[in-house]
Structure 1
Amino acid sequence: MYDITLFTPQDMAKCSLVLRQFGRNTASMEASSQKIVNYIYRHFCDSQTGENTCALVRLFKTHPYGELEDSLQQSARRLMKGNSPAADMKCWTLLAAAGTEPQWNSRHTAADNTAIPLVSTRLVAQMPAISEIIRQFGLDIPTFLGIERERFLQLEPAVLNIFHVSEAKGSPFIPEQNSLIIPYHVKSVLAFGGLLPSGSVFAVVMFLKVKIPQSTAEMFKDLALSVKTALSVPEKKSVFDYSEISKIFVTNNNIAETQLLEYQVANLIQLLDFSEQEMLRQAARFQETIDNLQRELADYKNKEEAFKVSQNSFTGILNIPKDAIVRVDKNQGIQRFNQGEEQI
């Protein structure tokens, strides 16, 4: 169990290790995705009450319209008022979901629109949630819609990022205010994701019932790499979960062992890079804390020394025998007097 309000690098490492395993022995990317959202929904909880921290968790992926299954193509055409999109047009596609309501635990029933056609740069710019995810991921809309091969090869290893809305209620980037944010008391929204080897963009979106700061959200960049690792191997299998394909896969895994190893090695190298970067960030923060403590200690010693000097001077003044010095309160009651006063 992970309390996101107390999320630590150790929690991140444990969660990352689990998420990476969900790409193994699965027939489809959809099956891996469902495991991922189920795990996040069930294991992020309030440490005091045990209540789920997430109201809803979704996993999206961009996917060409021509390669969508029938129900998803119907969803895309419904938004285009019956027009048939081009086969290579990308759609913002829901692969998996898990949440509070029973219908939220299947991609088939979790949303009204499970495949949103990304028709043009202009129209995508008018979709506040998607366009803001693109921006916070560090991409631009043209790149998001159709990555050129040369540019993709440069971007793919580096694009692993987060989308964070600290205050979900009233945010223009979260359109589901009346159906989700307000009735389910969603405080913050966090997404993490990046680019898959195929050029598709993926994003895990968490609708949180607690408010989290940017510093906590930043830690989920590392989890983005683990999800990418889990999804990259199934990407060479079926994307969607067809029962017949699942049966074939279980009895005869036709993914070459060398191909699996290549994916694992590439992703482990990238994970090592991320881990080293996180270690350096942690070391820098630790050193900054030490420096601050040393400055505070030095400041305290200086104040203590100044106080001693002040006290010595004050005591010397008080002990001048020929002069009477008396300290009184506001009611003229004597609080302290020196030797001179005592002699008088």
Structure 2
Amino acid sequence: MNMGKKTREEQSCDFEREGWKFERRLMLELIDSSQNLVESSLSSYKTGMMQDLEQVSEILDKMVSGVGEVADAADTLLSAVTAQKGHLDSIAAGQTSIDKNSQSGVEAMEEFSLSIENLGELSLLLKAMIADNHDIAEQLHLLSINGSIEAARAGTVVGAPFKVVAQEISNLSTKAGEIISQQEDSVNHIGEVIESLTSGNKEIVDRIKSNGATIAEAAASIQNINNEMGQIASGAEELSAISHQFSAAISQMQQAVERLQENANKFFLSLQNEFDFNKTVTSIFTKLITRPEETTNMEEMAKWIIDTIYNHFLDEQGNHTLALARLFVSLPEEKLDSTAAQATKNKQSASGRYLCLMATKGSEEAWNERARSVHHKAIPLPRSQQELEIMPMLAEMFRNMKVNYQRIISPVINDDLSAASLTDGYMLVEETVGSRFIPAQDDFIKPYGIASELGYGGILPSGAIFTCFLFSKSPISHHMADGLRLLSSAIQQALLPFDLKGLYWEEHGVVPELVTTAAVTEAIG
């Protein structure tokens, strides 16, 4: 038999092995390709949408500026129209006053005209009286002539008194005639003046009435202009109000666009965070399924698992977001190494089992070596669930794992390596500050800025329980915790070969040959 030639079975195994490697490489390439495509599409979509929103924002800015100018113009027009309307109101008030004064003047002139007419009538009466006086003066003159004749007839002696009387009557008649002539001249002059006044007053009254009519027409025109200016002012006021309303509406639209931009940024940020998170999850799981073949015990594997998880939780600047990551396994006292056993001398477990620290990684140097842990190298598990409540974080973790506590402290060999051997639950404290499940508030949570705590766990073939606790400085949501649930399966698959062989600690020595999952499956039948 040629020892250098492989059998058909060996060749078949080689083909299967190479095929599995090819499928895994193809899957990783497809994952990388899809991630790159999603990242490129997301970036392109974000750039295009943000450009559109910026254009809309610029248009709205121009509209706001234009409407602002219209509103300013409307306000200016309203102010000017209001001022003009005020001037017209003053002119209308003055015109009304003039109209009233004109009317009063017409009435006064009419009264004056009436008085003049009365004077004219009186002058006519005076003329009649003067005519009567003329008659009386003529009669006196005749009487004086008759007296002179009679005196002549009477003789010188007897007629002398009559002659004297006749002479005096003649003198009186002459003087009366002169006075009456003067009065007649005066009355005639007064009549002429009254006639002139009557004619002039009538002309003045006619002019005042004409001016009054003109003033009334002007007042009506001013009132019409005032009314029209009022309508213009009302229109300008409505225009100003509409402009301000439109400006306010555009401002609201602008605010809405700004909110849309903000929400779009939040949306893209959430998508980016989701993408980054999915990328982190994929990277973690890809790393965990390519675990190192040279690992010989569970402690080494646990260190590698915790280092892998810790180094994959990074922010945009590449800083670690986990303050502390730890992996524990429940073991009986006889399975402890010297480091864990030393920690149990002063705190014996009533149940005989301990939750042992297998690996630790954190931001403090002392958190990177399990031997330097002060309180958690080996946590004694009490005999009952009720006693466990004094350790609230562990009690809540086991409750969320939905596993009976007695199953933890009194395990049976788990011969089912399917998904049923895992627990679906996980422990998530989204806000650790003030949480009753994490008592170390002042010593750990607050000083190190711990935002959230996340715990996963599962069952190993020996019946041991493993738990992984992650303390994050960045908030962790239930959605993110759901995305990491496969950590339980990945950790179980990485630890179970060593659990089956009982190879827990580095000090237990090196395994002669690599323990594989296939070997575990074959060993447990």
TM-score higher than 0.5 here?
Answer: yes
CA shift for structure 1 position 241: 1.2
Q: Cα offset for 1:130?
A: 0.7
Would you say the 8 A contact 1:60–1:96 is kept in 2? Answer: yes
Q: 1:65 aligns with which of 304, 324, 333?
A: 333
Instruction: Determine the C-alpha separation between the residues in 2 that align with 1:106 and 1:182.
Output: 23
Shift of the 39–154 alpha-carbon distance from structure 1 to 2, 3 Å rule, reads closer
The residue correspondences of 1:73-92 to structure 2 (distance < 5 A) are: 73-80=341-348, 85=349, 89-92=352-355
Per the TM alignment, residue 167 of structure 1 is displaced from its structure 2 partner at its CA by: 0.6
Q: Provide Cα deviations, 1:192-216, integer angstroms capped at 9, x if missing partner.
A: 1211111111111111001111111
- Residue 400 of structure 2, aligned match among 125, 136, 149: 136
In the alignment, which of 115, 119, 126 is matched to residue 390 of structure 2? 126
Q: 1:51 aligns with which of 315, 319, 336?
A: 319
CA displacement at 1:262 relative to structure 2:
4.7
Q: CA RMSD in A?
A: 3.0
Kept in 2, the 8 Å contact 1:195–1:201? The answer is yes
1:241 corresponds, among 498, 501, 506, to 506
Aligned partner letter, 2:360: A
Measured against aligned partners, the alpha-carbon deviations of 1:104-135 in whole angstroms (never above 9, x if no partner) come to 11111134331011131132232101110000
- Distance in 1, matches of 2:473 and 2:287, equals 23
Q: Does 1:94 align with 2:354?
A: no
TM-fit CA distance, 1:63:
0.6
Structure 1 residue 155, shift from structure 2 partner: 9.0
Counterparts of residues 128-207 of structure 1 (less than 5 Å):
128-148=392-412, 157-207=421-471
- Work out the percentage of aligned pairs sharing the same amino acid: 26
Are the equivalent residues in 2 in contact too, given 1:64–1:89 (CA < 8 A)?
A: yes
Could you tell me which residue of structure 1 aligns to residue 287 of structure 2? 18
**What is aligned with 2:519?**
259
For 2:441 and 2:291, how far apart are their aligned partners in 1? 32
Per-residue CA distance 1:267-303 (angstroms, 9 max, x = gap): xxxxxxxxxxxxxxxxxxxxxxxxxxxxxxxxxxxxx
**Structure 1, gaps ≥5 residues long:** 267-344
Deviation at 1:260, TM superposition (A): 4.9
Is residue 211 from structure 1 mapped to residue 455 from structure 2 by the alignment?
no
Measure the CA separation in 1 of the matches of 2:282 and 2:516.
29
2:415·2:461 contact (CA, 8 Å) conserved in 1? no
Q: 2:469 aligns to what SS in structure 1?
A: strand
Offset, 1:136: 0.8
- SS of the residue 1:191 aligns to: strand
Q: Secondary structure at the match of 1:66?
A: helix
Superposed CA deviations along residues 235-289 of structure 1, whole A, max 9, x for unmatched, are 22520111x714xx3xx326479515659xx9xxxxxxxxxxxxxxxxxxxxxxx
- Structure 2: gaps (5+ residues): 1-269
Determine which structure has the larger strand proportion and give its number.
1
Is the CA contact (8 Å cut-off) linking 1:5 and 1:212 kept in structure 2? no
Cα distance in 2, alignment partners of residues 63 and 145 from structure 1: 9
Displacement of 1:32 after TM fit? 0.3
**Greater Cα shift, 180-189 or 138-147:** 138-147
Instruction: Report how many aligned residue pairs link the two structures.
Output: 252
Pair 240,156 (structure 1): closer, same or farther in 2 beyond 3 Å: farther
Give the aligned partner of residue 307 of structure 1: none
| Distance in 2, Cα, partners of 1:261 & 1:137 | 25
Matches within 5 A, 1:255-334: 255=515, 259-260=519-520, 262=522
Q: Describe the SS at the equivalent of 1:161.
A: coil
Whose radius of gyration is greater, 1 or 2?
2
Deviation at 1:102, TM superposition (A): 0.9
1:128, 1:174 within 8 Å by CA — same for their partners in 2? yes
Would you say the 8 A contact 2:414–2:421 is kept in 1?
no
TM-score (norm 2): 0.44
Distance of 2:478 and 2:330 partners within structure 1: 26
The secondary structure found in structure 2 opposite 1:206 is strand
Partner of 1:272: none
Q: 2:495 aligns with which of 227, 231, 237?
A: 231
1:131-174 superposed Cα distances (whole Å, 9 cap, x missing partner): 10000111232222223568989995242432111011111111
Task: Tell me if the contact between 1:17 and 1:226 (Cα under 8 Å) persists in the aligned partners.
Answer: no
Q: Which amino acid aligns with 1:38?
A: D
Displacement of 1:22 in angstroms is 2.9
Per-residue deviation, 1:176: 2.1
Q: CA deviation at 1:27?
A: 1.5
The answer (yes or no) to whether the contact 1:12–1:223 under 8 Å persists in 2 is: no
**Conservation of the 8 A alpha-carbon contact between 2:422 and 2:489:** no
| Cα pair 1:163 1:191 within 8 Å, conserved | yes
1:54 aligned partner, one-letter code: L
1: distance between equivalents of 2:411 and 2:418? 11
C-alpha distance in 1 between matches for 2:504 and 2:411: 20
CA distance in 1, matches of 2:388, 2:417: 24
Q: 1:65 to 1:165 in 2, by over 3 A?
A: same
Partner of 1:28: 297
